[in-house]
Amino acid sequence: MRVPVVARLAVAIAALLTSPLLSSSLLSKGAAAQQPDPNSATARSYADFLSMGPHRAFVVGGDGKPYWYAGSSGADPGNAIANALKRCAERSPPPCRLQTVNNVTVSGEAAWRSEVPARAPGAADIGRLRPEPYWSMRGPQLANGLVVWSHGYMAGRNATDSAPQSWIGRFTRLGYDLYRFDREWIADWASDATALAEAVRAARGLGYRRIVLAGQSAGAWVSLAALARGAPVDGVISISAAHHGEVKNMKDTTRARSEWQNMLAAIKPGARLVVVNFANDSYDVGGRMEDARRLFAKSGVAAEIVDAPEGFSGHGAGADFAFTRKFGPCIQAFIEQGTRQQPCE
């Protein structure tokens, strides 16, 4: 007998909501009881929420409807919480109940700071990697893997509190721990890439079975550079890789292109790569996706090249929720199983 789709969805959501990823010794029985009914629209919205990255907050209104906010920058989830509660207050009768902060179930707005520690218990730095703040970790022996986020760089600004792009949630939802490779300022790129590669080796030594590097702009570049230096990873997700500044300010665009080519040529087969570039990227000197196709075909590197996808424009287009919803599943499928599927293919 075939199980109806709705019933199968309910079972899947129920399994997700009770998974170890959302469990913690910090959670009270009362807080756990706040989990949404798997058959409800709230549960379906919660599943969408879980595919988004930090900082994030999930609120249920007095009308039973969900209101959430994700992808918020800052030293803590306070901004995400404030925005989620504000949305609820504007659209729902009271009370608005804060249910989840990042990936920890909480008992309410007043208690979240005591229930969500700034650093997960036992989550130590790994070389220059640090655990995502206010984020529960399973640890190297229990986690399904480790995903390392490397942020972009904004001239004159400290980006170490910037949010990971939301599609990172596709991997944390699978049970990956989330760490960051933060660089306050651009310094010695060779040194940064070497430090990232060394940290990956240390993470392997701790017991992480799978490791994925992911980043945007300068963070994408340093992730690829670490792989070129032999970082033992299973995958790299590069979104709008760059580190030479905007094209309009370059004195010599050939340098950016040749350094890109040299870096890709140094990458050996093993890890799976997703390389994304958008139209109208002011940091793109042009021709780099053609370089990637040619060089990876020559070396045998397994890669998905997503070149100027329709409907997305500019250097920061990967931060769009629409990008996460459209491309998150195929990025995950290729990195995890090597499966090529639309719209990445």
Query: Tokens in use for 154?
Result: 């904004």
What is the amino acid identity at position 325? R
CATH code, domain with 224 = 3.40.50.1820
Residues 150 and 182 in one domain: yes
Question: pLDDT value at position 37?
Answer: 57
Residues 30 and 171 in one domain: no
Task: Classify residue 287 as left (phi > 0), alpha (psi -120 to 50) or beta.
Answer: left
Question: pLDDT value at position 33?
Answer: 37
Question: pLDDT value at position 113?
Answer: 96
Residues 156 and 111 in one domain: no
Question: pLDDT value at position 42?
Answer: 79
pTM, two decimals, is 0.88
Residues 109 and 134 in one domain: no
Compute the distance between CA of residue 146 and CA of residue 233 in angstroms, rounded to an integer. 10
Q: How far is CA 342 from CA 221, 239, 339, in A?
A: 25, 17, 10
Give the residue numbers spanning the domain of 46: 5-115
Residues 164 and 302 in one domain: yes
Helix, strand, or coil (residue 58): strand
Nearest to 122 by CA among 112, 113, 131: 131
User: pLDDT 10s per residue in the chain (345 long)?
Assistant: 333 322 333 333 333 343 433 333 333 333 333 454 545 777 889 999 999 999 999 999 999 999 999 999 999 999 999 999 999 999 999 999 999 999 999 999 999 999 999 999 999 999 999 999 999 999 999 999 999 999 987 666 678 899 999 999 999 999 999 999 998 766 567 789 999 999 999 999 999 999 999 999 999 999 999 999 999 999 999 999 998 889 999 999 999 999 999 999 999 999 999 999 999 999 999 999 999 999 999 999 999 999 999 999 999 999 999 999 999 999 999 999 999 999 998
Question: pLDDT value at position 32?
Answer: 37
Residues 287 and 329 in one domain: yes
Which of 89, 115, 141 is the C-terminal boundary of a domain? 115
Residues 47 and 185 in one domain: no
β-sheet bridge partners, residue 277: 307
Residues 318 and 179 in one domain: yes
Question: pLDDT value at position 12?
Answer: 33
Is there a cis peptide before residue 140, judged by omega within 30 degrees of 0? Answer: no
Report how many domains make up the chain: 2
Phi, psi angle pair for 27, to nearest 5°: -85, 135
List strands edge to edge, sheet with 57-60. Answer: 66-69, 57-60, 97-101, 104-105
Residues 76 and 102 in one domain: yes
Q: Are 330 and 296 in contact (CB under 8 A)?
A: no
Residues 154 and 93 in one domain: no
